[in-house]
Chains A and B, each alone.
Chain A
Amino acid sequence: MAFTACILRAIVLLVLPAPADGHGTQHHLMEVVDEKIKSSPEDAGLWYQRAILHLEHEDTGQAISDLEKAEYLSPGKLPTYLLKAQALTLEGKLTDAKSAIDAQILRFPEQSRGYALRARILLKTGAPQNGLMDYRIALAKSPAAEPDLIHEVSTAMAANGAVEEAIEVLDAGIQRLGAIPSLTIKLLETEVQVGRYDAALSRVNKFQQSASRPEPWMAKRAELLGQAHRIEESRASWQALVTHLRNLPVNERDSTSMSLLAARAHEALTDKLPPQSPNE
């Protein structure tokens, strides 16, 4: 079976479908692939690529049809079951989706994304412990996991009672990627979720040390103290922030970010609900 270069690229794709309409470049791409299929109907990669486009349009029936054609033309070579599982998930056919993703994992056991997708399906089918197990495997098979996966896995763990493990996952992510806000904020929320305010406050101190600006973390500390009902400490922290902001160089103090932090601090100190912008 002959594949074009771009079709070979498609072999390794994981497509997380997003709803789309047949307007613009997507429509153009579909036309291009249609033409190619007319001239090379035996090219499994083309059918696979068209399935991706169908899936982006949420045209799951057409996607599954094209995936089955691709599988028929080139059995076992393309990750058709992965896309099929996604399509079936979109259709709400979770049992069938689970079967498809099982087949995918059997075929490509080293690929992390199969486990991540099965974890999502299992959570939807009410099998959280099995889902978490698949998430663990997905992470283990992704030594360079992006923030998205770490965030997703830790969220699922925290939501299903595995708070300690969620914290460990986030800690490991921060260790590798640095104190990135997407993980540090999640970590603080997870600590607070189980009432560990001291631990959260301790982390705030640490994160503040490595941050380019301390002010957002000063605000976070004051917020956490408020959430912990340590009102006087919270007020003192807000007041410290106000004083700090007042002493900044004018161009920094008058910036949008610092002005908005000042607004939050003053609102907290006056125990008022923040005035609402008509755009919020």
Chain B
Amino acid sequence: MKPSLLTLLAFCSTFLFPAEAVNFSNAYYQDFNTMGTGSAFITDWSIKNGNGGTDSSTWISTIPGSGANSVATMVATSGNLTYNNAVEGPMAFNIHGYNLRGTNDSDRALGTSPTGASGVAIQLVLTNTRGSAITGLRIGYDIRRYAAVSTIDGDAELPGYQLFYSLDGGSTWTNVPALNPTLSGAGIQVPNTQGTTSVPLTSINLLSNWIPGSNLLLRWVDDNAEATSPDQIYGLDNVAIQEINYSPPTSGSLTRGPYLNLANHESIVIRWRSSLSIAGRVRYGTSVANLNQMVDEAIPKTDHEIKLTGLSPYTRYYYSVGSANDTLTPEPSETTSFTPGAPAPTAADYTFRTSPLPGTAVNTRIWIVGDCGRGTQAQASGRDAYYSYNGSPSFTGSRTPDLNLQLGDNAYESGSDSEYGVGYFSIYSNIFRKMPQWSCLGNHETNDSTSSSENFPYFDMFTFPTAGECGGAPSGTERYYSFNYGNIHLICLDSQTSNTEVDNPATTGVNEDGPMASWLRADLAANTATWTIAFWHHPPYSRGSVDSDYTSQSITMRTNFNPILEAGGVDLLYFGHSHNYERSVLLDGHYGDSASITSTMKKNVGNGSLSGFTTGASGTIRNGANGFTATNTVNGAVIPGDGSYIKPLTGPRDHFGAVYNTAGMSGVADLRSINHPAMYVCYNTVGTVNLDVNGNTLTSTFVQTGGATPDNFTITKQGAADTDGDGISDAYEIANGLNRYVNDAASSADSDGLSNFLEFAFGLNPQINDGGNLQVNVPGAVLTKRGTPALWYQSLNGTNFQVIFLRRKDAAETGLIYSAQFSGNLVQWETSTAPPTVVASDGEMEAVSLSFPLFVIGNEGRFFRINVRSNH
């Protein structure tokens, strides 16, 4: 029910909402977003109502500025705004105005829906503070329609706001015909369907000069439907008012980027640099043709950083960068260094895909680049080889990597901003615009400083997680951090500036962990990802540009951090600093210098390759039987694959080995001995590394300048962890008080006659004498008691005797193989080939049965046994 006018006027006399006049010198902009979820008016604006809407005499096509029933006689209304967050808008009507939802919850619009036989106006008052008279304006805005035009009782409402202005304090009002809306035909068309109509900036010559210090009143007037509701509902958004000769500020030109940081499954940071200082704007959307969402910076700047939030997981988005007044992308030509002939990028090149939901396995490609920042053709050639590796035709390949790891020394010599421009951003800008990057700190980023309290240009250029924004434990610093991508956990450490002290277990009662070690232990303790990958700058194993036996940071990281990571189940590690490619075998427990390595530290001396590879020149390889003798590589020699490195998929994966890959050769390659005994294959050649992680398989490939791929290896996760290899899974040994570091399969902890292995196989407790036959309620398919195999007489189906025994449900994973064997004389045994039938089960175990044969190898079947073995 509409309230009466009398009631409204009485209410108005008590509560009025005067808006403040706004200083205006050149331009004004209002997007109403600061209204948030409130019901209070935004400071600059107010609502007026009254006039023009008696029954059957509503404003229809003309609204008078002055005189009776005119804009001039409208009065301030009362009451708060009505907050409404529905996509389709409100369904009620009022004269107080609405705080409406725009493209999303945080995008607001100021709306109206007149009632009480009155029109409504949204008013803004501007004060000329320009210091000179203003003769004209440019005005533009959006009209957001939420409900259709009312045509009940005959004449339709006006389809949108008519704009009036007054230069005499509201006595006389002048309409701006050029902005009057229509449903169709010439002029500002506001379709009679839900949606947004952008009224472009339109020039208006004011009837008289707007003199300095005086006010200009603007009213956007919404007429009223005839007395019978419903009225239409629409709102005003993105109001821009400029002095007619005013040139709005622009971004100038794009001088860096855009590039992508801090990506996770629901947000991303987009950074770029403009030549002029301006509040940046990112427009984005899931269709390259419809960037229908945007985020603005609050203040003008040249180094822009905008975080997009509320994104959908594993979804491709497109974006542009610029400001409210311009768009800098797509760039008119390709500016990436050393790309002669490259076509200009298109709007589709400014894109990213959000990360998958944490824990979700997706096919993932990661590009690893180390010590790249030279700004040379050699660096660009290594880059181009990788782009070609990703498929053609394209200057970045057809398969954009999902993320990029930078191993430090990204810009030589001192990591200055200008060096980063030449040696880093300009070289990779064509891929940085569509691939999030993550980096560790190298010695050249700090100009060799080792101070953990000093800021470096590096930290101003990148946005890395400090609060666990992308998964992992919060570190409180960008020097070291972790993040997740699907089922991969990636850890970045700082070998250059941060405290690298770790606890000495020999000193009890005191924890000497420095902050980074303390954080790393906590991070690993909460990591449930399938894969764990770490990277930092100084290599723990290298005989390339640096010798890890003598480089202090290498020694410290190897001695202090390798043990923590290996105890946490790390799978693969990448490093820079040495300008060579050096790739280890599956290694564990090697914390001393190169002379201290032993064969037991090499968990697998093979090459880990499924497909094999063809070696290049200028390398060394350890493909001899002992895994220690290095020979020089021969160009074109085919090295057969030894099969992938295998690691357990479940259970504690500590100390099952990891591959260490020094890869600081993306800018230049030094000619060195590259003969560290931990390595399988090494090269003195420029290139980068590709890493594909597909579910439980990971493959790393060296992509050399020119396109050759003279090394690859695969790690496969399968089965349950069994540290001591005794056939009993670590999970069972842990849960049942056995020692997972000692082969105790044949022992019997509870002396009940069953070995620990059989207790495991039959799901019993090795610490308690819980023997005896299993018991099953067959009709109910209920396993009532676990126990040893039994004979079961079944009289109903004609097969009188059956054998029944327990089998682990995770037998395939834990490597157990059960087979039933029968004999008539205890000498000759025959293994049953019949598939057992599951008759009952509980959470871990299932009871299966087999028919007892009447005859076994010519004798009457009288005996049976269950053979259990492990294929681990």
A and B assemble together: yes
- Chain A residues close to B by CB (< 8 Å): 5-6, 9-10, 12-21, 23-26, 28-29, 32, 49, 52-53, 56, 112-113, 116, 142, 145-149, 151-152, 173, 177-183, 185-186, 189, 211-213, 215-216, 250-252, 254-263, 266, 270, 272, 275-280
Contact A152 B499 (CB under 8 A): yes
Of A178, A181, A280, the contact of B523 (CB 8 Å cutoff): A181
CA distance in complex: A90, B710 (Å) = 46
Given A23-B551, A24-B578, A146-B479, is A14 in contact with B453 using a C-beta cutoff of 8 Å? yes
Partner of A261, one of B479, B525, B578: B525
Q: A6-B447, A178-B474, A256-B568 are in contact. Are A186 and B518 (CB under 8 A)?
A: yes
Whole-angstrom distance between the alpha carbons of A112 and B530 in the complex?
43
Chain B CB within 10 Å, residue with most, of A151, A152, A279: A279
Query: What are 26 A-B contacts with C-beta separation under 8 Å?
Result: A5-B414, A14-B451, A15-B450, A16-B450, A18-B553, A21-B547, A23-B551, A24-B551, A29-B448, A56-B448, A146-B479, A148-B499, A149-B452, A152-B499, A178-B474, A181-B473, A181-B523, A182-B475, A182-B518, A183-B515, A252-B359, A254-B651, A260-B525, A261-B525, A277-B655, A279-B588
Q: Please indicate the chain A residues that have their CB under 8 angstroms from the CB of B397 in the complex.
A: none
Q: How far is the CA of A181 from the CA of B568 in the complex (A)?
A: 16
Check B451–A211 contact: CB distance below 8 A. Answer: no
- B97 an interface residue at 8 Å Cβ cutoff? no
C-alpha spacing A45/B529, complex, angstroms: 48
Contacts of A250 in B (CB 8 A): 650
Residues of chain A contacted by B521 (CB below 8 angstroms): 181
Identify 18 new A-B residue pairs, CB closer than 8 A, beyond the known A9-B447, A25-B546: A18-B553, A21-B550, A23-B550, A24-B547, A32-B413, A56-B448, A112-B453, A113-B454, A146-B477, A148-B515, A177-B477, A178-B467, A182-B516, A185-B513, A270-B737, A277-B567, A277-B655, A277-B741
Contact indicator A277/B471 (Cβ below 8 Å): no
Alpha-carbon separation in the docked complex, A178 to B473 (Å): 11
Q: Which of B359, B498, B551 has the most CB of A within 10 A?
A: B551
Inter-chain contact A177/B466, CB cutoff 8 Å: yes
B384 within 8 Å of A by Cβ?
no
Docked complex Cα distance between A116 and B451 (Å) = 12
Measured between beta carbons, the chain A residues less than 8 angstroms from B472 are 212
Given A151-B515, A279-B588, A255 contacting B454 (CB threshold 8 A): no
Contact A146 B452 (CB under 8 A): yes
Closest chain-B Cβ to A43's Cβ sits at a distance in Å of 15
Q: What's the Cα separation between A279 and B546 when bound, in Å?
A: 27
Q: How far is the CA of A213 from the CA of B359 in the complex (A)?
A: 14
A-facing mask of B542-578, CB < 8 A → 1, else 0?
Answer: 0011110011110010000001001111000000011
Q: A180-B474, A216-B525 are in contact. Are A14 and B414 (CB under 8 A)?
A: no
The 7 closest A-B pairs by CB, nearest first: A24-B546, A182-B515, A181-B522, A21-B550, A254-B650, A256-B569, A177-B476
Q: Which residue of A lies closest to B414 (CB)?
A: A6
What's the minimum C-beta distance from B465 to chain A, rounded to whole angstroms?
11
Closest to B511 in A: A189
In the complex, what residues of A have CB within 8 A of residue B740's CB?
Answer: 263, 275
Interface bin, chain B: 35 or more
Contacts of B498 in A (CB 8 A): 148
Residues of A within 8 A of B474 (CB): 177-181
Contacts of A56 in B (CB 8 A): 448, 450, 552
A6 to B415, CA, bound (A): 9
A16 CA to B824 CA in the complex, in Å?
A: 81
Contact A266 B655 (CB under 8 A): no
Contact bitstring B778-793, A, C-beta under 8 A = 1, else 0: 0000000000000000
Query: Which residue of the partner chain B has the closest CB to A265?
Result: B734
Q: How far is the CB of B802 from chain A (nearest CB, A)?
A: 31
**Given A112-B453, A266-B737: A257 and B526 interface contact (C-beta under 8 Å):** yes
Chain B nearest CB, measured from A21 CB (Å)? 3
For B846, what are the chain A residues with a Cβ–Cβ distance below 8 Å? Answer: none
User: Which residues of chain B (495-527) have a CB below 8 Å from chain A?
Assistant: 498-499, 505, 511, 513-516, 518-519, 521-527
The reply to whether B476 and A182 form a contact with Cβ atoms under 8 Å apart is yes
Find chain B residues with CB under 8 A from A272 CB. Answer: 737
Residues of B within 8 A of A24 (CB): 544-547, 551, 577-578
Within the complex, what minimum Cβ distance (angstroms) separates A200 from chain B? 14
Q: Does B711 contact A (CB under 8 A)?
A: no
- Pick the contact of B551 from A6, A21, A53, A263 — CB < 8 Å? A21
List the A side residues contacting B499 at CB < 8 Å: 148, 151-152
Given the known inter-chain contacts A151-B499, A182-B518, please indicate yes or no for A6 contacting B413, CB distance below 8 A.
yes
Report B213 CB to chain A, min CB distance, Å. 43
Most A CB within 10 A of own CB, among B466, B498, B528, B529: B528
Q: Given the known A-B contacts A6-B447, A16-B451, are A255 and B522 also in contact in the complex, defined by CB atoms under 8 Å? A: no
Q: Complex: how many Å from CA A147 to CA B498?
A: 9
Report the Cα distance A278→B655, complex, angstroms.
10
- In the complex, how many angstroms separate the beta carbon of B344 from the nearest chain A beta carbon? 33
CB distance from A154 to the nearest CB of B (A): 11
- Chain A residues near B530: list those with CB within 8 A: 251
Question: Chain A residue with minimal CB distance to B767?
Answer: A270
Is B448 a contact of A52 with CB atoms below 8 Å?
yes
Chain B nearest CB, measured from A86 CB (Å): 10
A28 and B371 alpha carbons, distance in the complex (Å): 15
Nearest to B588 among chain A residues (CB) is A279
Which residues of B in the span 448-468 have a Cβ within 8 Å of any Cβ on A? 448-454, 466-468
Q: Does B652 contact A (CB under 8 A)?
A: yes
B742 at the interface (CB under 8 A from A): yes
Chain A residue nearest in CB terms to B529: A255
Select the residue from B569, B649, B651 with max chain A CB neighbours within 10 A: B651
Is A180's CB under 8 angstroms from B519's CB? yes
The closest CB in chain B to the CB of A20 belongs to B552
Q: Which residue in A52, A147, A215 is a CB contact (below 8 Å) of B526?
A: A215
- Decide: A13 and B479 in contact? CB cutoff 8 A: no
Query: A263 to B451, alpha carbons, bound, how many Å?
Result: 39
Expressed in whole angstroms, the minimum distance between the Cβ of A138 and any Cβ of chain B is: 9
A255-B569 Cα distance, complex, nearest whole Å: 9
- The CA of A262 and the CA of B740, in the complex, are separated in Å by 13
B477 touches A147 (CB 8 A): yes
Contact B552 A19 (CB under 8 A): yes
Nearest-Cβ distance from residue A195 to partner chain B, whole angstroms: 14
A13 to B448, CA, bound (A): 9
Residues of A within 8 A of B82 (CB): none
Question: A246 — nearest CB in chain B belongs to which residue?
Answer: B735
List CB contacts (< 8 Å) of B651-709 with chain A: 651-655
Q: Given A6-B416, A25-B443, A151-B514 in contact, is the A266-B568 Cβ separation under 8 Å?
A: no
Q: How far apart sit A180 and B230, CA to CA, in the bound complex (Å)?
A: 56
Q: Does B759 contact A (CB under 8 A)?
A: no
Cβ A259 vs Cβ B651 within 8 A: yes
Q: Is the CB of A259 within 8 A of B524?
A: no
A256 to B514: give the CA distance in the assembly, Å: 23
The residue of chain A having its C-beta at the shortest distance from the C-beta of B553 within the complex is A18
Contact B735 A262 (CB under 8 A): yes
**Cβ contacts under 8 Å, A257 to chain B:** 524-528, 568-569
- Among residues of A, the one whose C-beta sits closest to the C-beta of B499 is A148
Q: What is the minimal beta-carbon distance from A272 to any residue of chain B, in angstroms?
A: 7
B223 at the interface (CB under 8 A from A): no
Q: CB distance B526 to A116 under 8 Å?
A: no
Partner of A266, one of B443, B451, B452, B734: B734
Contacts of A279 in B (CB 8 A): 563, 566-567, 588-589, 655
Assess whether A18 is in contact with B547, with CB atoms less than 8 Å apart: no
Verify A275–B742 contact, CB threshold 8 A. yes
Contacts of B566 in A (CB 8 A): 279
Q: Which residues of B contact A277 (CB under 8 A)?
A: 567, 654-655, 723, 741
A13 vs B415: C-alpha distance in the bound complex, in angstroms? 13
Which residues of chain B from 105 to 156 have a CB within 8 Å of any chain A CB? none
Chain A residue contacts of B589, Cβ below 8 A = 278-279
Chain A residues contacting B278 (CB-CB under 8 Å) are none
Is A259 touching B730 in the complex (CB atoms < 8 A)? yes
Q: Is B731 an interface residue (CB 8 A)?
A: yes
CB nearest to A213 among chain B residues: B526
